Chains A and B, each alone.
Chain A
Amino acid sequence: MSNLGYDPFRVDLLARRLDHAVAELAELATAGDADPAAGDAMHAVRLTQYGLELHWRPLLRRLTTGDLLRGWHGSGLDAATFLESAAADRERRWPVNRFDSAVGELVDDVLVALVARLDESLPLADDDTWADDPATLARRHHALARVLARRVLDDPDFARRVVEVIPRHPTLTLLLATAEMPSWFHAAALRELAVHAGWEAGHEMQQQSVAAEVHLRALLPDPAACLQLLADSGVRRWFAHWPALDQELVADVVVAGLYGAPTSDPRLLRAGSIALHRFVELANDEPFDQRGFRPGLSLGLAATLGGYVPTFVGSLRLQHGWVFARSRGPGAPYDLALGTYDDVTDFVGALLRHPGGRAQLGALLATLARDAVADRPHVELDHVAEFAELLRRAADNEDAELAVAAAARRATLTGTFTVVGFAVSAATTATGTGPLGRLVAGRGVSLLNDAARRRVSTATIDAADFEHVTFVMLQAAACRRLVDDADLRRRLGMDEPPAETLDELAAQLERVAELAEPAEAADELGVPSADAELVLANVEDRLRVLGGGAFLDEVLGRPTVHDLTDRPLSAD
């Protein structure tokens, strides 16, 4: 307080002159309203009146009533009324070009004055009678947000300045969240937040975290914008490492960008592959190659990897060469080097450091096995073993290997497959995949978080390993196909079994799923019970008796699969 002081006599005189000036400005504004040509000028008049009401009058009132300069009272002018009149003025479209600049000046001042008040948790409007009324506050905030949003949309330069101050005034984000803002604005704000991310835990980090959440949530319905956001190196590092981001939202945005965007527009598949390549690079950069990614990014990347596997799984055979993403499907064809085999191994390893990533990649392995047995064109049987080998090498410890293996076996036996490739028809997503797959292929991704929250208890999965899991996956897929595919049975020369036999076998396969996922363990990613595998073995035996032995031998006797069983389980 030592640097504050005033002369009571002079302040009293000043207060009276202020009243006179405000009254004169109010009269002027009324007089000028009669002529549209005076619109710009009357804005300046009202702005001056507002500034005096907001800053001068409360302070002078305090001084003339005996208070010291320690408080800050608002004026009697309703901010919402003022702002609404500004918006209404604009809508009148008076033929004066300078009106835009007048509104710009208005908003700049309001931005400084009102956002600062919001950041200090002061009421936006000035009559304390209404400051605690939620409806009044909401109306005033909405009015301010509307004017700001209008200015942002109309003036790229103003939008740039607003984006720049967001990291310092996160309250501005909350305000703008009540208005409809375009995706590019949210993306720009997120890039700015990524650049200015505070790394010290505290109020600033918390505020930025809230701001980031608002913008990420707003960006989510626009997959192409999410993909574009992932093209920014600062944002990628931010997602990979900043501790205060909402991890569920990060996963959602990554899935929307890397999976949702190419699904809705195949021309974006190449951009998705490029983003994936950048994440492979990031996983091999210091310090991420030591610490891995944050859980949300790991989960999001693992959930979307299935879309890209068909583009690069063919080049995994050359285990010491380059891994190429190749697409000849819809959209422009392309070949793109994702990285060396070791680079991709490290990338997958980064995803496997979190339980959600392990669950996703386990389910992906199971899906590859199912699709390979079903002769789907995007994956061959050999690819299953090659992808399993990649996962085995990527897992940096035995626990991680076991967790992925358990997830794969569970996914196989319960039918909770994910999605492979981008050419997913609505029918497939509705019936051929588990909830996770439907989720990834669809709009929402919130259920992904169920997987993220699950924890694999290594104590319960000591029997799980890749060679056994690979066998069970193929066994389940082959049995399911023999039961479901009459054409295949005919081609194999099998005697067509009676319908009731097929129904019984189908029921037993359903029973496998039930045994594999008992209700009481629904939240655990543990190993399915041994009973499930006994029932599955029984189904296989019945199918062999019916003449399906040759097909089962072909699937289960692939040399590449048996190669896996000979490999040591321990990590590299």
Chain B
Amino acid sequence: MSHHLRAVHLRDRAQRLRDLAVRIESSPVHDLERLAGDDTWFGPRPELCRTMLRSNLHQLHRAADDLRWQAWLLEQEARQHDAHAVLEASRGG
């Protein structure tokens, strides 16, 4: 595979990762915390559910950050391939 095609492939992957990050952040799971307040239910078990959910949401935010970080790394790699492609083209010319 040429450097150019590799760069394209990596940018596609990066874009998909960014899309996933967006989907995670806009997931309906984030609505649950708002809908599950004391006016909906209260007691020790609802409280346990809310606690668990808060922990999970925190992890999801980190997961979205992580996906963007992975996307950035892939894009860096794509830029390197771009540079190699330019180098090869100049040598060929």
In this assembly, does A21 line the interface, its C-beta being within 8 Å of a C-beta of chain B? yes
Chain A residues near B20: list those with CB within 8 A: 28, 31-32, 38, 41
The verdict on B90 contacting chain A, using a C-beta distance below 8 Å, is no
Total B residues in contact with A, Cβ cutoff 8 Å: 39
B52: nearest residue on chain A (CB-CB)? A51
Q: Is the CB of B66 within 8 A of A40?
A: yes
- Given A14-B32, A28-B27, A52-B29: A6 touches B59 (CB 8 Å cut-off): no
Are B67 and A41 in contact (CB-based, < 8 A)? yes
Q: Kindly list chain B residues whose C-beta atoms are within 8 Å of the C-beta of A52.
A: 29, 32, 53, 56
Cβ-defined contact, A18 with B42, below 8 A = no
B89 in the interface, Cβ–Cβ < 8 Å? Answer: no
CA distance A4 to B40 in the complex (A): 11
User: Can you give 11 A-B contacts (C-beta < 8 A)?
Assistant: A14-B35, A14-B40, A17-B31, A21-B28, A34-B16, A35-B16, A42-B63, A52-B53, A55-B48, A69-B43, A72-B45
A10 within 8 A of B: yes
A28 to B25, CA, bound (A): 11
Task: Return the CB mask of B16-37 against A: 1 if under 8 Å, else 0.
Answer: 1100110110011101100110
Residues of A near B36 (CB, < 8 A) are: 14
Q: Does A20 contact B (CB under 8 A)?
A: yes
Task: Contact check, B67 vs A59: say whether CB atoms are below 8 A apart.
Answer: no
* A38-B67, A38-B70 as given contacts; A59 in contact with B49, CB under 8 Å: yes
Task: Report if B55 contacts A (CB, 8 A).
Answer: yes
Task: Select one of A21, A31, A40, A69 contacting B63, CB under 8 A.
Answer: A40
Q: A48-B60, A59-B49 are in contact. Are A24 and B35 (CB under 8 A)?
A: no
CB distance from A233 to the nearest CB of B (A): 39
The interface residues of chain A lying within 8 Å CB-to-CB of B73 are 37
Q: How many Å lie between the Cα of A37 and that of B20 in the bound state?
A: 11
Cβ-based interface call for B84 (8 A): no
CB distance from B62 to the nearest CB of A (A): 7
The yes or no answer to A77 lying at the interface (CB within 8 A) is no
Cross-chain contact of A25 among B16, B27, B35 (Cβ < 8 A): B27
CA distance A567 to B42 in the complex (A): 82
Contact A21:B31 (CB < 8 A) given known A3-B42, A37-B17, A44-B59:
yes
Q: Chain B's interface: helix, strand, loop or mixed, by majority?
A: helix
A6 touches B62 (CB 8 A): no
- The smallest C-beta distance from A93 to any residue of chain B, in angstroms, reads 16
A332 at the interface (CB under 8 A from B): no
Interface size on A (CB < 8 Å)? 44
Residue of A nearest to B38 (CB): A5
Q: Which residues of A contact B21 (CB under 8 A)?
A: 41
Other than the given A51-B55, A69-B43, A102-B59, 8 more pairs (CB < 8 A) read: A3-B43, A3-B44, A24-B23, A34-B16, A35-B16, A47-B56, A52-B32, A55-B48
Tell me if A63 counts as interface (CB < 8 A to partner B): yes
| Chain B residue nearest in CB terms to A35 | B13
Does the CB pair B64–A41 fall under 8 Å? yes
Q: Which of B40-93 contact A (CB under 8 A)?
A: 40-46, 48-49, 52-53, 55-57, 59-60, 62-64, 66-67, 70, 73-74
* Residue among B31, B41, B48, B64 making CB contact with A11, cutoff 8 Å: B41
Q: Output the residue of A6, A20, A38, A40 with the most chain B CB within 10 A.
A: A38
How far is it, in angstroms, between the C-alpha of A69 and the C-alpha of B43 when the chains are bound? 9
> Is A56 an interface position by the 8 A CB rule?
yes
Q: How far is the CA of A3 from the CA of B43 in the complex (A)?
A: 6
Query: Are B32 and A18 in contact, with the CB atoms below 8 A?
Result: yes
Smallest CB separation, B29 vs chain A (Å): 4
Residues of A near B24 (CB, < 8 A) are 28, 41, 45
Minimum C-beta distance from B13 to chain A (A):
6
**A489 to chain B: closest CB distance in Å?**
85
Closest chain B residue to A116, Cβ basis: B48
A501 to chain B, nearest CB (A): 87
Q: How far is the CB of A9 from chain B (nearest CB, A)?
A: 9
**A7 lies within 8 A of chain B by Cβ:** yes
Contact (Cβ within 8 A) A5 B27: no
Known: A28-B20, A35-B17, A51-B53. A13 touches B59 (CB 8 A): no
Q: Is the CB of A17 within 8 A of B40?
A: no
Q: Which of B55, B63, B66 has most A Cβ within 10 Å?
A: B63
A109 proximity list for chain B (CB < 8 A): 52, 55
Contact (Cβ within 8 A) A4 B42: yes
With both beta carbons as reference points, the residue of chain A lying nearest to B61 in the complex is identified as A44
Shortest beta-carbon distance, B16 to chain A, in Å?
6
Q: Does A453 contact B (CB under 8 A)?
A: no
Min CB distance A59 to B, Å, is 6
Contact B60 A5 (CB under 8 A): no
Chain B residue at minimum C-beta to C-beta distance from A71: B45
The smallest C-beta distance from A99 to any residue of chain B, in angstroms, reads 10
